A and B are shown apart, each in its own frame.
Chain A
Amino acid sequence: MNLLYQLGEYALLMGRVFKKPENWRVYRKQIIKEIYQIGITSLPIVAIISVFMGGVITIQAAFGFTSPWVPLYAVGFTTRESIILEFSPTIVSLILAGKVGSNIASEIGAMRITEQIDALEIMGVNSACYLILPKILAAVFINPFLIAISMFLGLVGGYVMGIAAGAVTSYEYIFGIQTFFETWKIWYAFTKVIVFAFIITSIPAYYGYYTRGGALEVGKSSTSAVVMSSIMILIFNLIITQLFFT
Protein backbone atom coordinates (compact mmCIF):
# COMPACT_ATOMS: atom_id res chain seq x y z
CA MET A 1 0.00 0.00 0.00
CA ASN A 2 2.81 2.34 0.99
CA LEU A 3 4.65 1.49 -2.23
CA LEU A 4 1.56 2.37 -4.28
CA TYR A 5 1.21 5.65 -2.40
CA GLN A 6 4.86 6.48 -3.07
CA LEU A 7 4.48 5.56 -6.72
CA GLY A 8 1.51 7.93 -7.03
CA GLU A 9 3.38 10.67 -5.21
CA TYR A 10 6.40 10.14 -7.48
CA ALA A 11 4.20 10.32 -10.60
CA LEU A 12 2.58 13.55 -9.39
CA LEU A 13 5.99 15.02 -8.64
CA MET A 14 7.22 14.14 -12.13
CA GLY A 15 4.09 15.83 -13.48
CA ARG A 16 5.23 19.02 -11.75
CA VAL A 17 8.84 18.56 -12.84
CA PHE A 18 7.97 18.40 -16.53
CA LYS A 19 6.07 21.68 -16.63
CA LYS A 20 7.18 24.70 -18.60
CA PRO A 21 9.99 26.46 -16.68
CA GLU A 22 9.37 30.05 -15.60
CA ASN A 23 12.58 31.33 -17.14
CA TRP A 24 14.73 29.18 -19.46
CA ARG A 25 17.77 31.43 -18.99
CA VAL A 26 17.94 30.63 -15.27
CA TYR A 27 17.31 26.94 -15.94
CA ARG A 28 20.06 26.84 -18.57
CA LYS A 29 22.54 28.07 -15.99
CA GLN A 30 21.32 25.41 -13.57
CA ILE A 31 21.68 22.66 -16.18
CA ILE A 32 25.30 23.65 -16.83
CA LYS A 33 25.97 23.65 -13.08
CA GLU A 34 24.43 20.20 -12.77
CA ILE A 35 26.39 18.84 -15.72
CA TYR A 36 29.51 19.79 -13.83
CA GLN A 37 28.20 18.46 -10.51
CA ILE A 38 26.80 15.18 -11.81
CA GLY A 39 29.14 14.46 -14.71
CA ILE A 40 32.50 16.13 -14.41
CA THR A 41 32.97 15.50 -10.69
CA SER A 42 32.14 11.81 -11.24
CA LEU A 43 34.79 11.40 -13.90
CA PRO A 44 37.73 10.47 -11.59
CA ILE A 45 35.87 7.66 -9.80
CA VAL A 46 34.44 6.34 -13.07
CA ALA A 47 37.88 6.40 -14.71
CA ILE A 48 39.64 4.61 -11.84
CA ILE A 49 37.00 1.91 -11.52
CA SER A 50 36.81 1.36 -15.28
CA VAL A 51 40.56 0.93 -15.78
CA PHE A 52 40.88 -1.57 -12.93
CA MET A 53 37.71 -3.49 -13.81
CA GLY A 54 38.83 -3.74 -17.43
CA GLY A 55 42.13 -5.19 -16.23
CA VAL A 56 40.48 -7.67 -13.87
CA ILE A 57 38.00 -8.86 -16.51
CA THR A 58 40.83 -9.44 -19.00
CA ILE A 59 42.99 -11.37 -16.54
CA GLN A 60 40.04 -13.46 -15.32
CA ALA A 61 39.03 -14.25 -18.90
CA ALA A 62 42.58 -15.15 -19.92
CA PHE A 63 43.13 -17.54 -17.05
CA GLY A 64 39.59 -18.89 -17.30
CA PHE A 65 39.98 -20.06 -20.88
CA THR A 66 42.17 -23.10 -20.27
CA SER A 67 40.99 -25.13 -23.25
CA PRO A 68 43.42 -25.12 -26.22
CA TRP A 69 40.31 -24.96 -28.48
CA VAL A 70 39.45 -21.45 -27.29
CA PRO A 71 41.47 -18.91 -29.30
CA LEU A 72 43.33 -16.23 -27.30
CA TYR A 73 41.50 -13.40 -29.05
CA ALA A 74 38.42 -14.57 -27.13
CA VAL A 75 39.92 -12.74 -24.15
CA GLY A 76 39.60 -9.37 -25.94
CA PHE A 77 36.16 -10.33 -27.20
CA THR A 78 34.96 -11.29 -23.70
CA THR A 79 36.37 -8.12 -22.16
CA ARG A 80 34.62 -5.95 -24.76
CA GLU A 81 31.29 -7.74 -24.36
CA SER A 82 31.42 -7.58 -20.55
CA ILE A 83 32.35 -3.92 -20.50
CA ILE A 84 29.95 -2.68 -23.18
CA LEU A 85 26.96 -4.80 -22.26
CA GLU A 86 27.08 -4.79 -18.50
CA PHE A 87 29.97 -3.23 -16.63
CA SER A 88 29.94 0.32 -17.99
CA PRO A 89 26.20 0.89 -18.41
CA THR A 90 24.95 -1.00 -15.36
CA ILE A 91 27.70 -1.28 -12.75
CA VAL A 92 28.95 2.26 -13.30
CA SER A 93 25.34 3.50 -13.11
CA LEU A 94 24.97 1.65 -9.81
CA ILE A 95 28.09 3.40 -8.56
CA LEU A 96 26.71 6.73 -9.75
CA ALA A 97 23.43 5.95 -7.97
CA GLY A 98 25.46 5.90 -4.78
CA LYS A 99 27.51 9.00 -5.45
CA VAL A 100 25.06 11.21 -7.34
CA GLY A 101 21.89 9.81 -5.77
CA SER A 102 22.91 10.40 -2.17
CA ASN A 103 24.11 13.86 -3.09
CA ILE A 104 20.81 14.81 -4.75
CA ALA A 105 18.63 13.39 -1.96
CA SER A 106 20.61 15.09 0.78
CA GLU A 107 20.84 18.40 -1.07
CA ILE A 108 17.10 18.62 -1.76
CA GLY A 109 16.25 17.13 1.64
CA ALA A 110 18.34 19.78 3.39
CA MET A 111 16.62 22.45 1.32
CA ARG A 112 13.27 21.06 2.43
CA ILE A 113 14.00 21.07 6.15
CA THR A 114 15.56 24.56 6.05
CA GLU A 115 12.47 26.00 4.30
CA GLN A 116 14.40 26.83 1.10
CA ILE A 117 11.79 24.94 -0.93
CA ASP A 118 9.00 26.87 0.81
CA ALA A 119 10.87 30.07 -0.08
CA LEU A 120 10.85 29.08 -3.75
CA GLU A 121 7.14 28.24 -3.66
CA ILE A 122 6.25 31.54 -2.01
CA MET A 123 8.19 33.42 -4.68
CA GLY A 124 5.97 31.72 -7.25
CA VAL A 125 8.67 29.35 -8.50
CA ASN A 126 7.69 25.76 -9.34
CA SER A 127 10.21 24.30 -6.89
CA ALA A 128 9.93 20.74 -8.24
CA CYS A 129 10.72 21.88 -11.75
CA TYR A 130 13.47 24.29 -10.72
CA LEU A 131 15.27 21.80 -8.47
CA ILE A 132 14.76 18.52 -10.30
CA LEU A 133 14.44 19.17 -14.04
CA PRO A 134 18.01 20.52 -14.49
CA LYS A 135 19.39 17.46 -12.68
CA ILE A 136 17.46 15.02 -14.87
CA LEU A 137 18.36 16.82 -18.10
CA ALA A 138 22.00 17.15 -17.07
CA ALA A 139 22.32 13.44 -16.22
CA VAL A 140 20.52 12.28 -19.35
CA PHE A 141 22.89 14.46 -21.37
CA ILE A 142 26.22 13.82 -19.63
CA ASN A 143 25.93 10.19 -18.50
CA PRO A 144 26.23 8.71 -22.04
CA PHE A 145 29.56 10.59 -22.39
CA LEU A 146 30.64 9.37 -18.98
CA ILE A 147 29.78 5.78 -19.85
CA ALA A 148 31.48 6.05 -23.25
CA ILE A 149 34.63 7.18 -21.44
CA SER A 150 34.19 4.29 -19.01
CA MET A 151 33.93 1.82 -21.92
CA PHE A 152 37.05 3.22 -23.55
CA LEU A 153 39.06 3.22 -20.32
CA GLY A 154 37.84 -0.29 -19.46
CA LEU A 155 39.17 -1.59 -22.76
CA VAL A 156 42.43 0.33 -22.31
CA GLY A 157 42.75 -1.06 -18.77
CA GLY A 158 42.18 -4.56 -20.11
CA TYR A 159 44.85 -4.04 -22.75
CA VAL A 160 47.49 -2.62 -20.39
CA MET A 161 46.94 -5.05 -17.54
CA GLY A 162 46.38 -8.05 -19.80
CA ILE A 163 49.73 -7.50 -21.45
CA ALA A 164 51.49 -6.62 -18.19
CA ALA A 165 50.23 -9.84 -16.63
CA GLY A 166 51.28 -11.82 -19.69
CA ALA A 167 47.70 -12.98 -20.12
CA VAL A 168 47.30 -11.89 -23.73
CA THR A 169 49.30 -10.39 -26.59
CA SER A 170 48.65 -6.96 -28.01
CA TYR A 171 47.62 -8.37 -31.42
CA GLU A 172 45.20 -10.93 -30.00
CA TYR A 173 43.58 -8.44 -27.62
CA ILE A 174 43.04 -5.80 -30.31
CA PHE A 175 41.80 -8.43 -32.76
CA GLY A 176 39.49 -9.77 -30.04
CA ILE A 177 37.88 -6.45 -29.20
CA GLN A 178 37.14 -5.87 -32.91
CA THR A 179 35.82 -9.30 -33.75
CA PHE A 180 32.05 -10.14 -34.03
CA PHE A 181 31.14 -6.53 -33.29
CA GLU A 182 27.42 -5.75 -33.52
CA THR A 183 26.27 -2.12 -33.52
CA TRP A 184 22.89 -2.79 -31.86
CA LYS A 185 24.69 -3.67 -28.64
CA ILE A 186 25.89 -0.08 -28.43
CA TRP A 187 22.29 1.10 -28.81
CA TYR A 188 21.28 -1.38 -26.13
CA ALA A 189 23.98 -0.09 -23.77
CA PHE A 190 23.14 3.58 -24.29
CA THR A 191 19.41 2.98 -23.96
CA LYS A 192 20.16 1.55 -20.55
CA VAL A 193 22.41 4.50 -19.68
CA ILE A 194 19.68 7.03 -20.46
CA VAL A 195 17.02 5.14 -18.50
CA PHE A 196 19.41 4.72 -15.56
CA ALA A 197 20.36 8.42 -15.70
CA PHE A 198 16.67 9.26 -15.28
CA ILE A 199 16.39 6.80 -12.38
CA ILE A 200 19.47 7.99 -10.49
CA THR A 201 18.32 11.60 -10.57
CA SER A 202 14.53 11.43 -10.30
CA ILE A 203 14.23 8.85 -7.50
CA PRO A 204 16.71 10.54 -5.13
CA ALA A 205 15.09 13.88 -5.97
CA TYR A 206 11.72 12.41 -4.96
CA TYR A 207 13.10 11.15 -1.63
CA GLY A 208 14.79 14.48 -0.96
CA TYR A 209 11.75 16.54 -1.94
CA TYR A 210 9.42 14.72 0.45
CA THR A 211 11.83 14.67 3.41
CA ARG A 212 10.05 15.58 6.64
CA GLY A 213 11.73 16.32 9.94
CA GLY A 214 15.36 17.14 10.57
CA ALA A 215 18.93 16.11 9.81
CA LEU A 216 18.28 12.50 10.79
CA GLU A 217 15.51 12.22 8.20
CA VAL A 218 17.75 13.75 5.53
CA GLY A 219 20.20 10.89 6.17
CA LYS A 220 17.37 8.35 5.99
CA SER A 221 16.10 9.86 2.73
CA SER A 222 19.56 9.66 1.27
CA THR A 223 19.91 5.98 2.18
CA SER A 224 16.42 5.10 0.90
CA ALA A 225 17.15 6.99 -2.32
CA VAL A 226 20.32 4.99 -3.02
CA VAL A 227 18.67 1.66 -2.16
CA MET A 228 15.57 2.33 -4.27
CA SER A 229 17.51 3.69 -7.27
CA SER A 230 19.81 0.65 -7.20
CA ILE A 231 16.84 -1.73 -7.10
CA MET A 232 15.15 0.17 -9.94
CA ILE A 233 18.34 0.05 -12.02
CA LEU A 234 18.47 -3.73 -11.62
CA ILE A 235 14.78 -4.13 -12.49
CA PHE A 236 15.01 -1.91 -15.57
CA ASN A 237 18.24 -3.62 -16.58
CA LEU A 238 16.30 -6.87 -16.74
CA ILE A 239 13.36 -5.30 -18.61
CA ILE A 240 15.54 -3.59 -21.23
CA THR A 241 17.66 -6.71 -21.68
CA GLN A 242 14.51 -8.77 -22.26
CA LEU A 243 13.29 -6.22 -24.81
CA PHE A 244 16.57 -6.15 -26.75
CA PHE A 245 17.51 -9.82 -26.59
CA THR A 246 14.17 -11.48 -27.29
Chain B
Amino acid sequence: MIEVKNITKKFDGRTIIEDINFVFEKGKTNLIIGESGCGKTTLLKVMVGLHKPDSGAVLYEGKDFIQMNAEEQQSIRKELGMLFQAGALFDSLTLEENVQFPLDMFTTMSEEEKKERVNFVLKRVKLEGKNKLYPAELSGGMKKRAGLARAISAFPKYLFCDEPNSGLDPKTAIVIDELIYELTKEFDMTTIVITHDMNSVIEIGENILFIHKGKAEWKGTKENVLNSGNEALENFVFSSEFMRKVYKGE
Protein backbone atom coordinates (compact mmCIF):
# COMPACT_ATOMS: atom_id res chain seq x y z
CA MET B 1 0.00 0.00 0.00
CA ILE B 2 1.14 3.51 -0.81
CA GLU B 3 -0.38 6.59 0.73
CA VAL B 4 0.20 10.16 -0.39
CA LYS B 5 -0.51 12.86 2.18
CA ASN B 6 -0.91 16.55 1.44
CA ILE B 7 1.41 16.47 -1.57
CA THR B 8 2.12 19.86 -3.12
CA LYS B 9 4.62 20.44 -5.90
CA LYS B 10 5.54 23.74 -7.53
CA PHE B 11 7.81 24.49 -10.47
CA ASP B 12 9.24 28.02 -10.69
CA GLY B 13 6.61 29.22 -8.24
CA ARG B 14 3.76 27.69 -10.27
CA THR B 15 1.69 25.15 -8.36
CA ILE B 16 1.32 21.93 -10.37
CA ILE B 17 -0.33 19.74 -7.75
CA GLU B 18 -1.80 20.91 -4.49
CA ASP B 19 -2.63 19.11 -1.29
CA ILE B 20 -3.21 15.67 -2.81
CA ASN B 21 -4.29 12.87 -0.48
CA PHE B 22 -4.95 9.31 -1.61
CA VAL B 23 -4.43 5.68 -0.67
CA PHE B 24 -3.21 3.32 -3.41
CA GLU B 25 -4.34 -0.12 -2.38
CA LYS B 26 -2.41 -3.36 -2.54
CA GLY B 27 -3.50 -5.98 -5.07
CA LYS B 28 -5.56 -3.44 -7.00
CA THR B 29 -5.13 -1.39 -10.15
CA ASN B 30 -5.18 2.17 -8.85
CA LEU B 31 -5.80 4.74 -11.55
CA ILE B 32 -4.84 8.40 -11.65
CA ILE B 33 -6.97 10.11 -14.28
CA GLY B 34 -7.33 13.64 -15.54
CA GLU B 35 -6.81 15.93 -18.48
CA SER B 36 -3.39 16.47 -20.01
CA GLY B 37 -1.33 18.88 -17.89
CA CYS B 38 -3.43 18.39 -14.74
CA GLY B 39 -0.46 17.05 -12.75
CA LYS B 40 -0.83 13.26 -13.03
CA THR B 41 2.74 12.59 -14.15
CA THR B 42 4.10 15.08 -11.60
CA LEU B 43 2.33 13.17 -8.82
CA LEU B 44 3.72 9.89 -10.12
CA LYS B 45 7.25 11.32 -10.33
CA VAL B 46 6.94 12.58 -6.77
CA MET B 47 5.83 9.12 -5.66
CA VAL B 48 8.84 7.38 -7.24
CA GLY B 49 11.26 10.04 -6.02
CA LEU B 50 12.12 11.69 -9.33
CA HIS B 51 10.73 14.99 -8.00
CA LYS B 52 10.89 16.19 -4.43
CA PRO B 53 7.57 17.65 -3.25
CA ASP B 54 7.40 21.10 -1.67
CA SER B 55 5.32 19.60 1.11
CA GLY B 56 3.64 16.35 2.04
CA ALA B 57 4.56 12.71 2.49
CA VAL B 58 4.66 9.55 0.39
CA LEU B 59 4.21 6.54 2.64
CA TYR B 60 5.29 3.08 1.51
CA GLU B 61 3.76 0.67 4.02
CA GLY B 62 3.63 3.57 6.46
CA LYS B 63 7.22 4.75 6.00
CA ASP B 64 7.80 8.18 4.51
CA PHE B 65 9.86 7.84 1.33
CA ILE B 66 10.70 11.56 1.24
CA GLN B 67 12.28 11.48 4.70
CA MET B 68 14.32 8.33 4.05
CA ASN B 69 18.07 8.49 3.54
CA ALA B 70 19.57 7.52 0.18
CA GLU B 71 20.15 3.90 1.19
CA GLU B 72 16.59 3.41 2.46
CA GLN B 73 15.22 5.02 -0.69
CA GLN B 74 17.36 2.69 -2.79
CA SER B 75 15.95 -0.35 -0.99
CA ILE B 76 12.40 0.86 -1.77
CA ARG B 77 13.35 1.54 -5.38
CA LYS B 78 14.48 -2.03 -5.79
CA GLU B 79 10.88 -3.00 -5.10
CA LEU B 80 9.50 -0.65 -7.76
CA GLY B 81 8.82 -1.41 -11.37
CA MET B 82 7.86 1.26 -13.84
CA LEU B 83 6.44 1.24 -17.31
CA PHE B 84 7.20 4.51 -19.06
CA GLN B 85 5.04 6.15 -21.69
CA ALA B 86 7.47 5.28 -24.51
CA GLY B 87 8.85 2.17 -22.86
CA ALA B 88 12.25 3.77 -22.00
CA LEU B 89 14.00 0.58 -23.02
CA PHE B 90 17.78 0.80 -23.17
CA ASP B 91 18.57 1.19 -26.87
CA SER B 92 21.97 -0.49 -26.70
CA LEU B 93 20.61 -3.67 -25.08
CA THR B 94 18.55 -6.46 -26.59
CA LEU B 95 15.10 -7.20 -25.26
CA GLU B 96 16.50 -10.05 -23.18
CA GLU B 97 19.28 -7.85 -21.75
CA ASN B 98 16.76 -5.11 -20.96
CA VAL B 99 14.55 -7.48 -19.01
CA GLN B 100 17.53 -9.07 -17.30
CA PHE B 101 19.06 -5.72 -16.33
CA PRO B 102 17.44 -5.34 -12.87
CA LEU B 103 18.33 -8.97 -12.11
CA ASP B 104 21.97 -8.44 -13.14
CA MET B 105 22.20 -5.31 -11.08
CA PHE B 106 20.57 -6.31 -7.83
CA THR B 107 20.23 -10.05 -7.49
CA THR B 108 22.60 -12.91 -6.87
CA MET B 109 20.68 -15.22 -9.17
CA SER B 110 22.69 -17.61 -11.32
CA GLU B 111 22.79 -17.07 -15.09
CA GLU B 112 20.46 -20.03 -15.54
CA GLU B 113 17.94 -18.67 -13.04
CA LYS B 114 18.05 -15.29 -14.72
CA LYS B 115 17.46 -16.78 -18.17
CA GLU B 116 14.55 -18.76 -16.76
CA ARG B 117 13.04 -15.62 -15.22
CA VAL B 118 13.52 -13.60 -18.41
CA ASN B 119 11.82 -16.28 -20.49
CA PHE B 120 9.00 -16.49 -17.95
CA VAL B 121 8.23 -12.77 -18.02
CA LEU B 122 8.64 -12.52 -21.79
CA LYS B 123 6.18 -15.35 -22.18
CA ARG B 124 3.89 -13.63 -19.70
CA VAL B 125 3.78 -10.48 -21.86
CA LYS B 126 3.54 -12.57 -25.04
CA LEU B 127 7.01 -11.72 -26.35
CA GLU B 128 8.54 -15.17 -26.20
CA GLY B 129 11.12 -15.80 -28.88
CA LYS B 130 11.89 -12.09 -29.34
CA ASN B 131 14.81 -12.20 -26.88
CA LYS B 132 17.49 -11.04 -29.29
CA LEU B 133 15.63 -8.11 -30.83
CA TYR B 134 16.71 -4.54 -30.11
CA PRO B 135 14.16 -1.88 -29.05
CA ALA B 136 14.42 -0.22 -32.47
CA GLU B 137 13.11 -3.45 -34.01
CA LEU B 138 9.95 -3.52 -31.86
CA SER B 139 6.55 -2.00 -32.64
CA GLY B 140 4.90 0.49 -30.26
CA GLY B 141 2.78 -2.18 -28.59
CA MET B 142 5.73 -4.55 -28.28
CA LYS B 143 7.80 -1.80 -26.67
CA LYS B 144 5.10 -1.30 -24.04
CA ARG B 145 4.97 -5.03 -23.35
CA ALA B 146 8.75 -5.17 -23.22
CA GLY B 147 8.76 -2.23 -20.78
CA LEU B 148 6.22 -4.10 -18.70
CA ALA B 149 8.35 -7.24 -18.78
CA ARG B 150 11.36 -5.29 -17.53
CA ALA B 151 9.24 -3.59 -14.86
CA ILE B 152 8.04 -6.91 -13.43
CA SER B 153 11.19 -9.01 -13.97
CA ALA B 154 12.36 -8.58 -10.38
CA PHE B 155 8.81 -9.28 -9.12
CA PRO B 156 8.28 -5.79 -7.65
CA LYS B 157 5.83 -4.94 -4.89
CA TYR B 158 4.82 -1.72 -6.62
CA LEU B 159 4.16 -1.20 -10.31
CA PHE B 160 3.85 2.26 -11.85
CA CYS B 161 2.55 2.72 -15.40
CA ASP B 162 2.67 6.11 -17.08
CA GLU B 163 0.00 6.24 -19.78
CA PRO B 164 0.51 2.65 -20.91
CA ASN B 165 -2.04 3.03 -23.72
CA SER B 166 -0.91 6.25 -25.32
CA GLY B 167 -0.19 5.90 -29.02
CA LEU B 168 -1.66 2.41 -29.27
CA ASP B 169 -4.56 1.15 -31.34
CA PRO B 170 -7.69 0.24 -29.31
CA LYS B 171 -7.10 -3.52 -29.61
CA THR B 172 -3.49 -3.37 -28.41
CA ALA B 173 -4.51 -0.91 -25.69
CA ILE B 174 -6.99 -3.47 -24.30
CA VAL B 175 -4.29 -6.17 -24.39
CA ILE B 176 -1.98 -3.93 -22.32
CA ASP B 177 -4.77 -3.07 -19.86
CA GLU B 178 -5.65 -6.72 -19.38
CA LEU B 179 -2.01 -7.61 -18.93
CA ILE B 180 -1.55 -4.96 -16.23
CA TYR B 181 -4.69 -6.15 -14.46
CA GLU B 182 -3.72 -9.82 -14.60
CA LEU B 183 -0.15 -9.16 -13.43
CA THR B 184 -1.43 -7.05 -10.54
CA LYS B 185 -3.55 -9.96 -9.35
CA GLU B 186 -0.91 -12.60 -10.10
CA PHE B 187 1.88 -10.86 -8.18
CA ASP B 188 -0.40 -9.09 -5.66
CA MET B 189 1.21 -5.76 -6.50
CA THR B 190 0.17 -2.22 -5.70
CA THR B 191 -0.30 -0.96 -9.24
CA ILE B 192 -0.65 2.70 -10.12
CA VAL B 193 -1.69 3.57 -13.66
CA ILE B 194 -1.84 7.05 -15.12
CA THR B 195 -4.32 7.32 -17.93
CA HIS B 196 -6.79 9.54 -19.69
CA ASP B 197 -8.20 6.66 -21.67
CA MET B 198 -11.80 6.05 -20.59
CA ASN B 199 -11.72 2.47 -21.85
CA SER B 200 -8.97 1.75 -19.32
CA VAL B 201 -10.94 3.45 -16.57
CA ILE B 202 -13.98 1.31 -17.22
CA GLU B 203 -11.95 -1.88 -17.75
CA ILE B 204 -9.48 -1.85 -14.87
CA GLY B 205 -10.26 1.12 -12.59
CA GLU B 206 -10.60 -0.56 -9.20
CA ASN B 207 -9.56 2.53 -7.27
CA ILE B 208 -9.60 5.87 -9.04
CA LEU B 209 -8.21 9.32 -8.26
CA PHE B 210 -9.38 12.10 -10.55
CA ILE B 211 -7.11 15.13 -10.62
CA HIS B 212 -8.46 18.42 -11.89
CA LYS B 213 -6.33 21.57 -12.11
CA GLY B 214 -3.75 20.04 -9.78
CA LYS B 215 -6.21 19.06 -7.06
CA ALA B 216 -7.74 15.73 -6.04
CA GLU B 217 -11.22 16.39 -7.38
CA TRP B 218 -12.85 12.97 -6.96
CA LYS B 219 -12.10 9.47 -5.64
CA GLY B 220 -14.02 6.32 -6.45
CA THR B 221 -14.18 3.15 -8.52
CA LYS B 222 -15.10 2.14 -12.07
CA GLU B 223 -18.59 1.29 -10.79
CA ASN B 224 -19.42 4.89 -9.89
CA VAL B 225 -17.19 6.87 -12.28
CA LEU B 226 -20.00 7.18 -14.81
CA ASN B 227 -22.50 8.61 -12.36
CA SER B 228 -20.27 10.54 -10.00
CA GLY B 229 -22.33 13.72 -9.94
CA ASN B 230 -19.05 15.66 -10.11
CA GLU B 231 -19.22 18.28 -12.84
CA ALA B 232 -15.49 18.33 -13.67
CA LEU B 233 -15.34 14.53 -13.83
CA GLU B 234 -18.47 14.34 -15.97
CA ASN B 235 -17.01 16.89 -18.37
CA PHE B 236 -13.88 14.74 -18.56
CA VAL B 237 -15.62 11.37 -18.84
CA PHE B 238 -18.22 12.44 -21.36
CA SER B 239 -16.02 14.71 -23.43
CA SER B 240 -16.20 12.36 -26.41
CA GLU B 241 -19.30 11.82 -28.52
CA PHE B 242 -18.75 8.08 -28.26
CA MET B 243 -19.01 8.10 -24.46
CA ARG B 244 -22.09 10.32 -24.54
CA LYS B 245 -23.79 8.05 -27.10
CA VAL B 246 -22.97 4.78 -25.34
CA TYR B 247 -23.55 5.75 -21.71
CA LYS B 248 -26.02 8.61 -21.95
CA GLY B 249 -27.82 7.67 -25.15
CA GLU B 250 -27.43 11.19 -26.54
Question: In the bound complex, what is the Cα–Cα distance between A125 and B90 (angstroms)?
Answer: 14
- 0/1 string, B135-147, CB within 8 A of A gives 1: 0000000000000
B140 to chain A, nearest CB (A): 14
Contact B91 A110 (CB under 8 A): yes
Question: In the bound complex, what is the Cα–Cα distance between A122 and B104 (angstroms)?
Answer: 15
Segment with Cβ contacts to B, from A111-119, A156-164, A201-209: A111-119
- Which chain B residue shows the least CB distance to A22? B105
| CB neighbors of B among A69-128 (8 A) | 110-111, 114-116, 118-119, 121-125
Interface centre among B77, B78, B84, B105 (most CB of A within 10 A): B105
* Given known contacts A22-B105, A116-B91, A118-B50, A123 and B78 CB-to-CB distance under 8 angstroms: yes
- Which chain B residue shows the least CB distance to A19? B70
Contact B88 A116 (CB under 8 A): yes
Question: In the bound complex, what is the Cα–Cα distance between A123 and B102 (angstroms)?
Answer: 7
Question: In the bound complex, what is the Cα–Cα distance between A15 and B85 (angstroms)?
Answer: 30
Contact B91 A118 (CB under 8 A): no
Interface size on A (CB < 8 Å)? 16
B156 to chain A, nearest CB (A): 10
* Given known contacts A122-B50, A122-B80, A123-B78, A22 and B88 CB-to-CB distance under 8 angstroms: no
Contact B106 A118 (CB under 8 A): no
Identify whether the interface residues of A are mostly helix, strand, loop, or mixed.
helix
A112 to chain B, nearest CB (A): 11
Question: In the bound complex, what is the Cα–Cα distance between A22 and B77 (angstroms)?
Answer: 13
* Given known contacts A23-B104, A26-B104, A118 and B78 CB-to-CB distance under 8 angstroms: no
* Given known contacts A114-B86, A115-B85, A115-B86, A124 and B106 CB-to-CB distance under 8 angstroms: yes
- 0/1 string, B102-122, CB within 8 A of A gives 1: 101110000000000000000
* Given known contacts A110-B91, A118-B50, A123 and B86 CB-to-CB distance under 8 angstroms: no
B135 to chain A, nearest CB (A): 10
Contact size class for B? Answer: 20 to 34
- Chain A residue numbers with a CB within 8 Å of B101 are 123
A240 to chain B, nearest CB (A): 34
- Which chain B residue shows the least CB distance to A113? B86
Contact B50 A121 (CB under 8 A): yes
Question: In the bound complex, what is the Cα–Cα distance between A116 and B82 (angstroms)?
Answer: 11
Contact B105 A26 (CB under 8 A): yes
Contact B106 A23 (CB under 8 A): yes
Question: In the bound complex, what is the Cα–Cα distance between A125 and B89 (angstroms)?
Answer: 15
Question: In the bound complex, what is the Cα–Cα distance between A22 and B90 (angstroms)?
Answer: 18
Interface residue? B74 (CB, 8 A) = yes
- Which chain A residue shows the least CB distance to B107? A23
- Chain A residue numbers with a CB within 8 Å of B49 are 121-122
Interface residue? B192 (CB, 8 A) = no
Contact A119 B84 (CB under 8 A): yes
Contact A122 B86 (CB under 8 A): no
* Given known contacts A23-B104, A23-B106, A26-B104, A123 and B85 CB-to-CB distance under 8 angstroms: no
- Which chain A residue shows the least CB distance to B90? A116
Contact A123 B90 (CB under 8 A): no
Interface residue? B48 (CB, 8 A) = yes
Contact B106 A22 (CB under 8 A): yes
B52 to chain A, nearest CB (A): 13
Contact B82 A122 (CB under 8 A): yes
- Which chain B residue shows the least CB distance to A119? B88
Between A and B, 24 residue pairs with Cβ closer than 8 Å are: A22-B105, A23-B104, A23-B106, A111-B90, A114-B91, A115-B86, A115-B88, A116-B88, A116-B89, A116-B90, A116-B91, A119-B88, A122-B48, A122-B77, A122-B80, A123-B101, A123-B102, A123-B105, A124-B75, A124-B77, A124-B78, A124-B80, A124-B105, A124-B106
Which are the 8 A-B pairs with shortest beta-carbon distances? A124-B77, A115-B88, A119-B88, A124-B74, A124-B78, A115-B84, A122-B82, A116-B88
